[in-house]
């Protein structure tokens, strides 16, 4: 029997998260920022990074003491276009929004800006920050390291995070170009989804400790836990389908997320101390803003970009395919649909939200309780 | 019977190309730049982009009048960290080197620099420009559009170029990190190699006009010519192995190579006029330099980057694999080997070089003629 799904509106879901973040101690204005980043993920149809993670990635980590409600945003070093920020394990969304805003402000003055961050926590969808730049008429680029998941080409050990390398560009269409993707071939959220629906994974997503492909999602999830499975990079296992390229891009993100800011990298991002206890993840991010206006009238840029995207969509389809998408388009379509329906919430997510509410004694009634 | 291979030294091969470029009319100092970029490809073992292309990509195009020996490097617009350059269909290597040098100079002053170029010609390996930045203690990023080759996800029409997205970083090792790769799953040079050795291609490299995989390299090459085959993006055909990510990165490069500089894009880069005659390719490139020193002491950056790369290499190998590489390492190994042997030149390349020599009446004797 299909699981019962209830819907809650964007506004109400965002409001709940903001109130709950504030109740656990996040300063009110910053709680709103965190909620705004998370809800953007749900608006865009990216269920893996939104309200579904509210409890276990944020509230639980705050309760475990490995993420702090008060964000000490320390600018360690600053130049005309550049800055290094230490986030002191505060709220990743707050650190991310303030850092990209710094990059945007610098780009307004100098044409470009870049902020490198160390000691941060999970910053939500990378796309949020790329979107900030696109909305400001800029090109936005961002990435983050993450707990080790990807094995290098010819390797089997999870070394690199899923390390998104994300770009946003303004266009003359109803939605900007946003390529928000991990440099791994897939991510755990998708594998968990395959397990739930009882589907085999394609060969090439996951390898075991011999380097052989794993297609059973349950075995993969178990293997991630025990360290005997790893994700393949974009391009898959070995070199045949150019896995070394995805591995290379994941390494680029790892370097940009650690080497400019003297931050943590690779295995040290596991969130586990040597004695087995939990410790802060000490994540690193980077944020680049490029002011289109420094090169060309922003409307001309938007028109060219729109033309490129329209021509791609209008090109000849493969047999059985009726539509070609461009980056950010499926997310926009999800947004249009969910603007009508609200956000679909399964039982597990609903329970996590009511648990948080009860734990924090927040006065809030969800749609499904009425 | 195996084809006879002769070797010529780096120095002599570079010297020949410089003299021949000068003989066809490229100003002497600029001829040296072009030769230096081309030879770097051969030094790094990238046979697809070096002396093997000297005649048909450069000399022939100059003779056809679609590439000019005198490079008019026009700075159309300039800001503190930014510039737009029109290359007026001059020599791509000269345009590339001058543009990356501008970006580096701006980064020295402001921390970052970016130059967007239109109306250029083939600029050789993207890695050359990323290396320029790395040698200057900077992070280098570059990309270029190219004649249409890649089909978008769910499409079959060659729309996007092989569009490299290339990064270079200084390290504390004997060679920098350089990820120099196309955003297609493979490139034509590799398919031609498979044809020569009579090997089937893996499924996922090339699609026909129905969207079905093509594994016969001869059929693929014929299909590229007639427009009935296209390369798959990094990640392959469809969405199963995340082809939409490679397609997305190819689109990023297409946008950055055209929209900032009011340049040409997609189908207009075919090099063919509507009446079937040849026309300049009008390629676009972009060059980004980020001064490490603006963030952190460059030695600290190099050490962290080196540590990341060493830890990746030292991680557990897949069964049957004895070594894990990092980006730029195989190219460095090729360099070490070829420093001893010189550059291997097959009969076809040797003939192309002696043809150019004879055509331009250059006084030069190759090693194999002695």
Specify which residues B155 forms β-bridges with. Answer: A317
Interchain proximity B241–A204, CB inside 8 Å: yes
Contact predicate B46/B327, CB 8 Å: no
Nearest to B238 by CA among A84, A347, A241: A241
Q: Which two tokens stand for residue B126?
A: 């993207």
Gap between the Cα atoms of B42 and B307, Å rounded: 28
Gap between the Cα atoms of B140 and B104, Å rounded: 9
User: Who's near A212: CB < 8 A, 6+ residues apart?
Assistant: B319
Which residue in the block uniquely carries the two structure tokens 């020569």?
Answer: B196
pLDDT tens for B100-124 read 999 999 999 999 999 999 999 999 9
Which residue in the block uniquely carries the two structure tokens 């290499």?
Answer: B313
Q: Is B324 on the interface with A (CB under 8 A)?
A: yes
pLDDT of residue B1: 52
pLDDT tens for A224-267 read 988 999 999 999 999 999 999 999 999 999 999 999 999 999 99
pLDDT band at B72; cut points 50, 70, 90: very high
Q: Which two tokens stand for residue B183?
A: 């955003």
SS3 labels along A18-46: HHHHHHHCCCHHHHHHHHHHHHHHHHCCC
pLDDT of residue A135: 98
pLDDT tens for B89-106 read 999 999 999 999 999 999
Gap between the Cα atoms of B354 and A150, Å rounded: 48
Chain A residues whose CB is inside 8 A of the B206 CB are: none
pLDDT of residue B305: 98
Interchain proximity A305–B113, CB inside 8 Å: no
User: Who's near B297: CB < 8 A, 6+ residues apart?
Assistant: none
Mean pLDDT across B274-299: 97
Strand, helix or coil for residue B141: strand
Which residue in the block uniquely carries the two structure tokens 């004879």?
Answer: B358
Interchain proximity B315–A210, CB inside 8 Å: no
Q: Which two tokens stand for residue A81?
A: 């276009």
DSSP state, residue B168 = E
pLDDT tens for B221-268 read 999 988 999 999 999 999 999 999 999 999 999 999 999 999 999 999
Nearest to B68 by CA among B88, B95, B98: B88
pTM exceeding the 0.90 threshold for the entire prediction? yes
Interchain proximity A155–B249, CB inside 8 Å: no
Gap between the Cα atoms of A244 and A235, Å rounded: 7
Contact predicate B123/A334, CB 8 Å: no
pLDDT tens for B129-174 read 999 999 999 999 999 999 999 999 999 999 999 999 999 999 999 9
Chain B residues whose CB is inside 8 A of the A183 CB are: 245
Contact predicate A88/A74, CB 8 Å: yes
User: Who's near B29: CB < 8 A, 6+ residues apart?
Assistant: none
pLDDT of residue B225: 87
User: Who's near A178: CB < 8 A, 6+ residues apart?
Assistant: A127, A130, A131, A134, A166, A167, A168, A169, A327, A328, A331
Give the residue on B whose Cα is nearest the Cα of A202: B240
pLDDT of residue A1: 52
Other Cβ atoms closer than 10 A to B103? 31
Surface of B (86-125) touching A: CB under 8 A? 110-114, 116
Q: In this model, does residue B2 exceed pLDDT 80?
A: no
- Domains of chain A by range and CATH? 6-185+232-298+330-369 (3.30.1370.60), 186-231 (3.30.60.50)
Strand, helix or coil for residue A227: coil
Category of B191 on φ-ψ map: left (φ > 0), alpha (ψ -120 to 50) or beta: alpha
Gap between the Cα atoms of B195 and B188, Å rounded: 11
Mean pLDDT across A67-84: 98
pLDDT tens for A19-63 read 999 999 999 999 999 999 999 999 999 998 999 999 999 999 999
Q: What percent of chain B has pLDDT over 70?
A: 99
Q: In this model, does residue B13 exceed pLDDT 80?
A: yes
DSSP B210-274: TS-EE--HHHHHHHHHHTSEEEPBTT-SSTTTTHHHHHHHHHHHHHHTTTTTT---GGGGSSB-T
Q: In this model, does residue B26 exceed pLDDT 80?
A: yes
Nearest to B206 by CA among B237, B238, B175: B237
Evaluate whether ipTM surpasses 0.90. yes
Kindly report the nearest CA distance between residue A66 and chain B, in angstroms.
Answer: 24
Chain B residues whose CB is inside 8 A of the A116 CB are: 295
Nearest CB neighbour to A81, from listed B81, B207, B304 = B81
Residue B337's alpha-carbon distances to B44, B45, B304, B332, B342, in angstroms, are 10, 9, 28, 9, 8
pLDDT of residue B346: 93
pLDDT band at A188; cut points 50, 70, 90: confident
DSSP A189-213: HHHHHHHHTT-PPPTTSEEETTS-E
pLDDT of residue A58: 98
> What are the counts of helices (DSSP H) followed by strands (DSSP E) for chain A?
11, 12
Q: Which two tokens stand for residue A343?
A: 């956000």
Nearest to B311 by CA among A344, A158, A126: A158
Gap between the Cα atoms of A290 and B76, Å rounded: 18
Other Cβ atoms closer than 10 A to B240? 16
- Mean pLDDT, rounded, of chain A: 96
Contact predicate B156/B208, CB 8 Å: yes
Nearest to A34 by CA among A76, A63, A62, A66: A62
Nearest to B253 by CA among B277, B276, B229, B285: B285
pLDDT tens for B194-225 read 998 899 999 999 999 999 999 999 999 999 98
Chain A residues whose CB is inside 8 A of the B319 CB are: 210-212
Strand, helix or coil for residue A155: strand
Surface of B (7-66) touching A: CB under 8 A? none
């Amino acid at each position: 029997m299909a699981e019962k799904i209830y819907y809650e509106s964007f506004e109400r879901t965002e409001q709940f998260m903001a109130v709950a973040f504030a109740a656990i101690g996040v300063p009110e204005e910053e709680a709103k920022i965190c909620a705004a980043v998370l809800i953007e993920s749900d608006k865009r149809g990216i269920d893996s990074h939104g309200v579904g993670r509210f409890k276990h990635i944020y509230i639980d980590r705050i309760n475990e003491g490995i993420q702090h409600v008060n964000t000490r945003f320390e600018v360690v070093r600053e130049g005309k276009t550049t800055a290094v920020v230490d986030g002191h394990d505060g709220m990743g969304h707050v650190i991310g929004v303030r850092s990209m805003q710094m990059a945007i402000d610098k780009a307004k003055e100098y044409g470009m800006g870049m902020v490198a961050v160390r000691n941060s926590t999970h910053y939500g969808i990378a796309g949020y920050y790329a979107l900030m730049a696109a909305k400001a008429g800029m090109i936005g680029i961002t990435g983050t390291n993450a707990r080790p998941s990807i094995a290098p080409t010819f390797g089997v050990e999870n070394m690199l995070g899923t390390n998104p390398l994300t770009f946003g560009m303004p266009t003359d269409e109803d939605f900007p170009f946003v390529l928000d993707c991990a440099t791994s071939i897939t991510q755990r959220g998708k594998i968990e989804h395959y397990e739930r629906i009882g589907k085999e994974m394609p060969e090439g997503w996951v390898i075991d400790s011999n380097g052989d492909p794993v297609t059973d999602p349950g075995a993969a999830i178990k293997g991630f836990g025990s360290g005997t499975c790893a994700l393949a990079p974009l391009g898959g296992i070995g070199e045949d389908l150019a896995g070394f390229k995805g591995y290379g891009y994941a390494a680029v993100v790892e370097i940009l997320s650690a080497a400019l800011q003297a931050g943590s990298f690779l295995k040290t991002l596991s969130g586990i101390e040597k004695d087995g206890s939990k410790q802060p993840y000490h994540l690193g991010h980077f944020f680049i803003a490029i002011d289109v206006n420094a090169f060309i009238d922003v409307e001309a840029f938007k028109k060219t970009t729109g033309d490129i995207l329209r021509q791609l969509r209008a090109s000849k389809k493969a047999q059985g395919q009726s539509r070609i998408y461009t980056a950010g388009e499926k997310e926009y379509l999800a947004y249009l649909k969910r603007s009508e329906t609200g956000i679909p919430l399964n039982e597990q997510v609903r329970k996590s939200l009511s648990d948080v509410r009860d734990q924090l004694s927040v006065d809030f009634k969800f749609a499904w309780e009425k």
